[in-house]
Structure 1
Amino acid sequence: MASYIVTGVAGFVGSHLAEALLTQGEKVVGVDQVNDYYDPQLKRKNLQILNKYSDFEFIEADIQALDWQKLLVDVEVIYHQAAQAGVRASWGEGFRLYTERNINATQIILEAAKEAKSLKRLVFASTSSVYGNAETLPTPETICPQPVSPYGITKLAAERLCWLYHQNFGVPVTALRYFTVYGPRQRPDMAFHKFFKAAMFDQAIPIYGDGEQTRDFTFVSDVIAANLAAGTIPEAVGEVFNIGGGSRVVLTDVLAKIDEITGRPIRREYIEKAMGDARHTGADTTKAQKLLGYHPQVALTEGLTQEWEWIQQLY
């Protein structure tokens, strides 16, 4: 059996993470439901890349339908990336999917992890959405989380479950709070993907609110480096880390950059502020620097250029 499991392996971050492990010569079992939250064809494209590696095994299944105790025999690290993502879709009818896929699924893995003899690390993918409108920017991990979306609530609940299993059963958990990840393979419901696609097809893009909101954008390869460190460094156990890109940028400035990169001015359509969107996000990554040796390598312009190249090939 593989020594690594990646859940959500067909997704944006999961596929990059599995690819990085496979490139290092590791055996990887990937788990993904390939649901239709966004176009499953995009997930299948990601899987095609991974299927080229003989050390990759794919299990297409709902996390809650698997025998995790059996799966975890000989597994050293679980990278739990699978989640129901997206802030805006987490209101109303859709909320049940968030509790199922973010809380219940995580609890099932943790329950099996407490019996797993060979398990050295469970790295949980959390999110900056747990902070909501943080009082302090950049935000350190010590700030009390106050999510402003149902999505943020479910991710925080899953993170808290990780600590309970760590404290009561010694499950070797680490959590990484991602700040707005972007890059090739980004989900189509995420801003940059939408913006580049709009530029390509000369469509207007919806801007929520006044465009003056700020985000800490993190390139996907930096997030992968953080995961690999969190999966190996002993000091990471029982800790939570902010993983940000190192620069907080105003949305309108990002759009100007995108205009420059694509060479096509994007038409902007201002609409009302979205419920559950934090006004500003900014990561204080001092702790990740100190314990994980985390230093983001990819600057925004370089990262956006890479994503634009990928979008052009995709469409």
Structure 2
Amino acid sequence: MATHIVTGVAGFIGSHLAETLLQQGEKVIGVDQFNDYYDTTLKRKNVLPLQQYKDFELIEADIQQLDWLTLLKEVETVFHQAAQAGVRASWGSGFRHYTERNINATQIILEAVKETPALKRLVFASTSSVYGNAETLPTSEIIPPQPVSPYGITKLAAERLCWLYHHNFGVPVTALRYFTVYGPRQRPDMAFHKFFKAAIFKNSIPIYGDGKQTRDFTFVSDAVAANLAAATCSQAVGEVFNIGGGSRVFLCDVLDKIDEIVGYKIIRDHQEQAMGDARHTGADTTKAKQLIGFNPQVSLDDGLAQEWEWIQGLY
């Protein structure tokens, strides 16, 4: 039985990843600060299924306050999912949370990992936000990043730190650039969660811009599969991979799908385009398919239906 650390274990992707590892008979040490970026009650619900496993240990703490050298003893993999998320909240006075939780926290883990030669892999959760308004769609990993939000800047800085530690100290790191992950346990500030919640309470939904922006949507179980592949494939060390679901669609078309699922037309409240939001995203996942065998399994229709089922149980 191998031992793995999952940071951000109470979060959306982190909780799913930890649960999958536990189901596979692995031991998981989960680290989470339970900060108030969104309702901590939801985070507690996310970890509840994990606490039923005897091989799960929860450490409730700030990453920057932990003794990582001790924590990493006998650990095989670190899945670093913890981050201060969200594009719109990264402007203004909240920016320091992004530098602390995305850059400083990552550097502290990297410092400890470089002193832990037995560690087999550090999988870093990056984001498509590093591309900004990419010059090419679908976007491959060779396209130069040009973030358009403070959030994207901090995630790119953390990613670049990973490469510094890899090249200078041999840290076995792999980075995954997620493209708009969705599904059960999705954060309440993310679009699909907000749309489905609005449907339940018969509220209008805010649409930033004209609705013609496109996104490449990735179901959470496919993101988890990418993490597991990146952790075990020797060719993944020192590489960055786009992780997209192959479902690049117009936002207005997604809203039509959601109308069909919930059974009525949700009122759209069109607002100005938000600063920091990329107009289009689309993942070229050729590299991930070739090197780590990434092959998304869940269609947008099926994934939306699963998230709707979960949302109804939540509210």
TM-score tier, shorter chain, comes to over 0.9
Match of 1:5 in 2: 5
Q: Aligned AA for 2:11?
A: G
- Taking the aligned partners of 1:117 and 1:242, their CA distance within structure 2 comes to 27
- Taking the aligned partners of 1:285 and 1:304, their CA distance within structure 2 comes to 21
Match of 1:131 in 2: 131
Structure 2 gaps, min length 5: none
Deviations 1:244-268 (A, max 9, x none): 0112100000000000001021000
- Taking the aligned partners of 1:189 and 1:15, their CA distance within structure 2 comes to 17
Q: Aligned AA for 2:312?
A: Q
Counterpart contact for 1:242–1:288, Cα < 8 Å: yes
Give the aligned CA root-mean-square deviation in angstroms: 0.8
* SS in structure 2 at match of 1:126: strand
- Taking the aligned partners of 1:228 and 1:102, their CA distance within structure 2 comes to 22
Match of 1:314 in 2: 314
Counterpart contact for 1:244–1:285, Cα < 8 Å: yes
- Taking the aligned partners of 1:263 and 1:53, their CA distance within structure 2 comes to 38
Tell whether 2:107 aligns with 1:107.
yes
Match of 1:182 in 2: 182
Matches within 5 A, 1:58-97: 58-97=58-97
Counterpart contact for 1:4–1:26, Cα < 8 Å: yes
Q: Aligned AA for 2:17?
A: L
Q: How many residues align?
A: 315
Deviations 1:84-117 (A, max 9, x none): 0000000000000000000000000000000113
Deviations 1:243-297 (A, max 9, x none): 0011210000000000000102100000000000000000000000000100110
- Compute the displacement of 1:17 (Å): 0.2
Once the two structures are aligned, what percentage of the paired residues are identical? 79
* SS in structure 1 at match of 2:123: strand
Q: Aligned AA for 2:49?
A: I
Match of 1:24 in 2: 24
* SS in structure 1 at match of 2:242: strand
- Taking the aligned partners of 1:37 and 1:2, their CA distance within structure 2 comes to 32
* SS in structure 2 at match of 1:196: helix
Counterpart contact for 1:73–1:117, Cα < 8 Å: no
Q: Aligned AA for 1:203?
A: N
- Taking the aligned partners of 2:192 and 2:46, their CA distance within structure 1 comes to 18
- Taking the aligned partners of 1:22 and 1:126, their CA distance within structure 2 comes to 23
- Taking the aligned partners of 1:173 and 1:16, their CA distance within structure 2 comes to 21
- Compute the displacement of 1:2 (Å): 6.4
- Taking the aligned partners of 1:11 and 1:269, their CA distance within structure 2 comes to 29
Structure 1 gaps, min length 5: none
- Taking the aligned partners of 1:47 and 1:223, their CA distance within structure 2 comes to 18
Counterpart contact for 1:2–1:29, Cα < 8 Å: no
Match of 1:221 in 2: 221
- Taking the aligned partners of 2:63 and 2:134, their CA distance within structure 1 comes to 32
Tell whether 2:173 aligns with 1:173.
yes
Match of 1:275 in 2: 275
Deviations 1:213-259 (A, max 9, x none): 00000000000000000000000000000000112100000000000
Match of 1:305 in 2: 305
Q: Which runs of 4+ in 1 moved over 6 A?
A: none
Q: Aligned AA for 2:20?
A: A
